[in-house]
Amino acid sequence: MSKKEHNKIRFRLKVLYGVLYFGVFLIMLELILVLAGSGNIREEEHYADREQIENLILIHYENSQEGKEQTQVEVPKDSPLLQIPENPEIRVVIKTTDFTDVYHDVLEITCAGAFALSDESSGVKVAYEAGEILKITPKSTCFLNGDVIRIFPKQEQLLQVLGISRHYGAPCYRGSLEIRRTQEGLILINQLPFEEYLYSCVPSEMPASYPMEALKAQAISARTYAFRFLLSPGYPEYEAHLDDSTTYQVYNNIKEQDSTNQAVDETRGQILFSSTGELIESYYYSTSCGIGADGDIWGNENYPAYLEAKLLNASVMTGYMEESKSPLVSSGETDYSDEKQFEAFITNVKETDFEARENWYRWKYEVADIDMEELYCQLKICSGKSKWSVMVLEEGRFITGQIKKFKRLERMVISERGRGGNVQAMILYTDAGVYQVQGGQNIRTLLLNNNTQFQLVDGSTTTLSSMLPSSFFILDTGNVDGNVVGYTVVGGGLGHGVGMSQNGAKNMAYAGYTAQEILTFFYNDCLIYAGG
């Protein structure tokens, strides 16, 4: 018998024993509840049903590292997972066109069926016929009794907001619309059932043409992400949970689609939690370069273990599933925070990488002639984001200080990388001072000049308007007479690189992996809770 076959037999025995032990545990728990007189409390109010729990335990065994002691994960009794009712209402702040602002000067609302306006202060209701357009400004008479009004359809119709543009035109919304008058302008809030919110969130974040298991993974991840804001609202001043932009996750930029609605329905109530029973931070992004980043890219050094950097390729996933090898970078010998190691990685293509055929898997960006005035202005903008964004070298150490205008750039080097190879700090040596730029997003913004095109995997070119596609790149400068006059950036991936890669999920689904397998790979050692 080979070692691999022997390991498989040991693994199957562990799974069998684990399920048997768990079955005994359920029987004992049921007896305890009966003896304690708790028979009037329905089990499904606190836990998934028995079959769901057994499936979770089986998933946990299939994805845990071999040789580690297996543990059964319970959701704490005071967990927020058990405190939110099934399919609660969620309140979403609707931003202006291009998601630029939360304040509206004027709102025009209509409906294909009859609808009504309700004054929240007086309770007065005004009826409108199908197709009528209700125009609201801060001076509208509907605000005479208060600053809050609600608009709702009389039947199950969608409310349409004219004057706001989304990818498919003037957006339509389920549920009701609330308008709040403030000194800055009108706040528009869409209130609707949580699961229906996901109908317009999932297609806005992942193409509906992606395979079903990828869409289901996206639905679970998006549900988990939004669930956090039910517990800790992002707009408490408006009694709203989040907004519809990339600040949270995009909502209703794309119309509902049959495939994404199906993904939401088939995963109804499913959310991700950690091995300690805590709701996870289910970040996701577009495309990886074959490796993910640690969860410290936003400055949180105490990031959770499930957001650690990992290699994202088929050979690692096979080992993870069949031989229980950890995909985490920390378990390997290669340190991608080392400049030479990462250069070797990013300048090569690994065919087993899940996204090796994606256009943003590798990209190149060249600036032949640096505009020093523009670079100085961008550096000033970066420094204004926080007192740590740009540091000044004084007496041998970097401190907060004033950025002086410079005419020459003598050197520009990457000074710090994360374990996944993502750029975290860069130093600019100028004739007026030495400056350290900190944070991947700041560096990505600084290096984009809005004129140069990116060269992609298939040979095509494109432009971006705000920052480089990712912080996974190397930098090569062009020098004349000892001064930097241009630079070339060779990189890979699109997005921040933390959590689940959406195109990675797509290609894993095409390879036959399930949503559960995709999610427990990207969010290491996490489980799916099918509550409700």
456-477 confidence digits (pLDDT tens): 999 999 999 889 999 999 999 9
Task: Tell me how far apart the alpha carbons of residues 312 and 328 are, in angstroms, rounded to a whole number.
Answer: 10
More confident residue, 136 or 449: 136
Phi (first) and psi of residue 472, to 5 degrees: -95, 90
pLDDT category at 530 given cuts 50, 70, 90 is: confident
Q: What is the pLDDT of residues 185-238, one digit of tens each?
A: 999 999 999 999 999 999 999 999 999 999 999 999 999 999 999 999 999 999
Give the pLDDT confidence of 309-341 residue by residue, as tens digits.
889 998 888 776 665 555 666 555 557 999 999
Which neighbouring-strand residues pair with 187? 180
With cut-offs at 50, 70 and 90, classify the pLDDT of residue 44. Answer: very low
pLDDT over 50 at 36, yes or no: no
Instruction: Please tell me the predicted confidence (pLDDT) of residue 327.
Output: 62
Q: Does the pLDDT at position 61 exceed 60?
A: no
CB 192 within 8 A of CB 175: yes
**Quick one: pLDDT at residue 121?**
77
Whether 437 shows a pLDDT value over 80: the answer reads yes
DSSP codes, 319-381: HHHHS----BGGGSS--TTSHHHHHHHHTS--TTBTTTTSGGGSEEEEESS--HHHHHHHHHH
Backbone angles phi, psi at 496, to 5 degrees: -75, -25
Of 65, 97, 72, nearest in space to 253 by CA: 97
Looking at residues 469-496, what average pLDDT do you find? 96
Q: Cα 26–13–308 angle (5° rounding)?
A: 80
Q: Which residues contact 134 (CB under 8 A, 6 or more apart)?
A: 108, 109, 110, 115, 117, 128, 151
Q: CB of 524 within 8 A of CB of 295?
A: no
pLDDT score at 332: 54
Q: Do the beta carbons of residue 475 and residue 489 sit within 8 Å? A: yes
pLDDT higher than 50, residue 93: yes
Residue 521 has pLDDT above 70, yes or no: yes
H or E, element range at 103: none
Percent of the chain with pLDDT over 90: 68
What is the average pLDDT value for the chain, to the nearest integer? 84
C-beta neighbour count of 60 within 10 angstroms: 21
Backbone angles phi, psi at 308, to 5 degrees: -85, 155
Res. 440: pLDDT tops 70: yes
Comparing CA positions, the residue from 204, 194, 173 lying closest to residue 91 is 194
What does the buried/exposed string (b/e) look like for 455-474 if buried means 16 or more CB atoms within 10 Å of the residue's CB?
A: bbbeeeeeebeebbbbbbbb
DSSP 187-215: EEEEEEEHHHHHHHHHHHHS-TTS-HHHH
pLDDT at 316: 81
* Beta pairing class for 172-173 and 134-136: unpaired
Give the three-state DSSP class for 276.
coil
- Sort 503 into a burial class: Cβ within 10 Å, 0-12 / 13-18 / 19+: buried
pLDDT at residue 525 in the model: 82
Please give the average per-residue pLDDT across 25-44, as a whole number: 35
Tell me how far apart the alpha carbons of residues 24 and 27 are, in angstroms, rounded to a whole number: 5
Q: Give the SS3 label for residue 476.
A: strand
Percent of the chain with pLDDT over 70: 81
Of 388 and 423, more confident: 423
Residue located via tokens 């606190």:
46
Distance CA(170)–CA(70), nearest Å, equals 52
Q: Which of 348, 345, 305 is nearest to 327 (CA)?
A: 305
Q: Tokens 């032990």 — which residue?
A: 21
Q: Residue 492's pLDDT is what?
A: 98
Q: What is the pLDDT of residue 323?
A: 56
- What CA–CA distance (Å, rounded) separates 365 from 469? 10
Q: Convert the pLDDT of each residue in 364-376 to its tens digit.
A: 999 999 999 999 9
Q: What is the pLDDT of residue 129?
A: 96
pLDDT of residue 55: 38
Angle between helices 212-231 and 194-205 in degrees, nearest 10: 130
pLDDT band at residue 128 under the 50/70/90 scheme: very high
pLDDT band at 167 (very low <50, low <70, confident <90, very high): very high
* Separation between Cα atoms, residue 529 and residue 76, nearest integer Å: 13
Ranking 137-146, 301-310, 329-338, 445-454 by mean pLDDT, the lowest is 329-338
Q: Is the pLDDT of residue 377 over 90?
A: yes
How far is the C-alpha of 382 from the C-alpha of 130, rounded, in Å? 50
Express each pLDDT in 249-290 by its tens digit.
999 999 999 999 999 999 999 999 988 888 899 999 999 999
